[in-house]
Amino acid sequence: AAPSKVANGTPSAITVEEFEDLASLSQDDEASVSITVVGASGDLAKKKIFPALFALYYEDCLPKHFSIFGYARSKMTDAELRDMVSRTLTCRIDKRENCSEKMEEFLKRCFYHSGQYDSEADFKELGKKIKQHEGPRVSNRLFYLSIPPNIFLDVVKCASRSASSENGWTRVIVEKPFGRDSESSAALTRGLKQYLVEDQIFRIDHYLGKELVENLSVLRFSNLVFEPLWSRQYIRNVQLIFSEDFGTEGRGGYFDSYGIIRDIMQNHLLQILALFAMETPISLEAEDIRNEKVKVLRSMKPLQLEDVVIGQYKSHTKGGITYPGYTDDKTVPKGSLAPTFAAAALFINNARWDGVPFLMKAGKALHTKQAEIRVQFRHVPGNLYKGAFGTDLDRATNELVIRVQPDEAIYLKINNKIPGLGMRLDRSNLNLHYAARYSKEIPDAYERLLLDAIEGERRLFIRSDELDAAWELFTPLLKELEQKRTAPELYPYGSRGPVGAHYLAAKYNVRWG
């Protein structure tokens, strides 16, 4: 029955031949694609989804016959949606040629339908509206769930029953959080699978759509110089670092029931880790890559409390300005223990990575906004140049840095002779600085991921077994922290985070980069 579900979201018997006909029809240039942004009145829709759709339109990446529908409870007319979209649309395209003409054209293809999230009747009306725009063409429909997770299932039920395609594909993009632990995530997956098959579900982790994260496999598997070094034999430790220089700012309500470990580590940083550490996939096909990622996750030991440090930012005054602490946010319960910072050491129990610490660090309200991967290599054996660096022996090791954002770059710290008559060494960077090397601006992660979902490319989306494996690593720790009511170490807003993170790194002979 799976093929029929892929086609229209409701089980019915069609043959494999019929399914193949349908699949080829739905890839037809003349097929229509309708994208419904559920929760169109919300923050993510305005900030990311509509701008990404417009950028795709501007770049001629959307199919010829496309329409976009906003759906939410708020009352809005088509004109009001268009006004909202055009006013909030700040994106990389803004200063390009013909931007306003393109915007006019784009807005003509955006429509709004107001309805309840649990009303099949309202979704039926939406379905009728979509149908009017599709005309007699093959109908392909994408629903983007940009809504709080407690209403995911209501929407999937109503959309699949009352607004899914009758003769093309129906796909659903689901935003995180995918549950808060193994049990709730499994319940969500079971719930979704009552109405959809796995191939219809596109679980988004927008870090996978970031240019330098996508480039990780290229760097590794297409350059002879890196892959042979990619193991415990040469790599001393790997660091995955995420920091933001602002607090929860308005999202405290959501954040408090999740905390930084669920918000960033269990998904964004763990996904990067899996891509970084996986074995060579058989091909670049989605299933081959996802199979390798799952193997890495399953080779890891669940996180241990003694290998984790948690922190929470407190108010801090600097230059006459007082920055609020996390619990000063009105949407955060007084005395909340939710971590806004965490550092952890993880290990992969396989032949390639045995004993290599993978250190993760994620925090809000820190001194800088940055996401990077740091690979610290072992010392060169022997001591041929001992003394040539002065006393700082640590400087003699190589380090590869992949700066995911901002100001994307890949640089390798190498040892080099300082030009001159003496024999003095320093450490210099072989630097691939994207802004200097590539003139074209980098698309937003949401552009890549939306385009992939439209094209049915699943490589950058999370499969349910990957999700299960990811939660298995974090759930015992999260439960222990909550049961023990572990108090986070306080750190001042705008600082480098709690000192405990340095002790954790030192335990494994690591210095944060």
- Quick check: 176 and 205 in contact, CB under 8 A? yes
- Closest separation in Å from C-beta 449 to ligand NDP: 12
- Quick check: 29 and 60 in contact, CB under 8 A? no
Q: Tell me which stretch binds ligand NDP (CB under 6 A): 131-139, 140-148, 189-197, 450-458.
A: 140-148
CB closer to ligand BG6, 325 vs 363: 363
Question: Is 433 among the catalytic positions?
Answer: no
Q: Is 41 in the site for ligand NDP (CB under 6 A)?
A: yes
Q: Is 74 in the site for ligand NDP (CB under 6 A)?
A: yes
Q: Is 73 in the site for ligand NDP (CB under 6 A)?
A: yes
Q: Is 271 in the site for ligand NDP (CB under 6 A)?
A: no
Partner from ligand BG6, ligand NDP, none contacting 74, C-beta within 5 to 8 A by type: ligand NDP
- Quick check: 445 and 410 in contact, CB under 8 A? no
- Closest separation in Å from C-beta 267 to ligand NDP: 10
Beta strands in 54-107 (DSSP E): 65-72
Hey, CA dihedral for 42, 46, 47, 48, is it positive or negative? positive
From 259, 284, 291, 166, select the one nearest 474 (Cα to Cα): 259
Residue with tokens 């309500």: 253
Binding site for ligand BG6 (CB under 6 A): 206, 244, 263, 371
Q: Is 176 in the site for ligand NDP (CB under 6 A)?
A: yes
Partner from ligand NDP, ligand BG6, none contacting 466, C-beta within 5 to 8 A by type: none
Could you give the maximum distance between any two Cα atoms of the chain, in Å? 83
From 220, 351, 357, select the one nearest 276 (Cα to Cα): 220
Query: What angle separates helix 464-483 from helix 270-277, to the nearest 10 degrees?
Result: 130
In the three-class reduction of DSSP (H, G, I as helix; E, B as strand; rest coil), residue 279 is classed as coil
CB closer to ligand NDP, 81 vs 401: 81
Q: Which of 10, 28, 61, 148 binds ligand NDP (CB under 6 A)?
A: 148
From 159, 158, 155, select the one nearest 188 (Cα to Cα): 155
Q: Which residue is nearest to ligand BG6 (CB)?
A: 263
Question: Taking CB under 6 A as the rule, which mask of x and - marks residues 177-196 in contact with ligand NDP?
Answer: x-------------------
CB closer to ligand NDP, 12 vs 150: 150
- CA 7 to CA 9: how far, in whole Å? 6
- CA 366 to CA 389: how far, in whole Å? 32
Q: Is 72 in the site for ligand NDP (CB under 6 A)?
A: yes
- CA 298 to CA 348: how far, in whole Å? 9
From 65, 113, 206, 268, active-site residue:
268
Which residues inside 202-231 make contact with ligand NDP, applying CB under 6 A? none
- Closest separation in Å from C-beta 473 to ligand BG6: 18
In the three-class reduction of DSSP (H, G, I as helix; E, B as strand; rest coil), residue 490 is classed as strand
Catalytic residues: 268
Would you tell me which residues interact with ligand NDP (CB under 6 A)?
39, 41-45, 72-74, 117, 146-149, 151, 175-177, 254
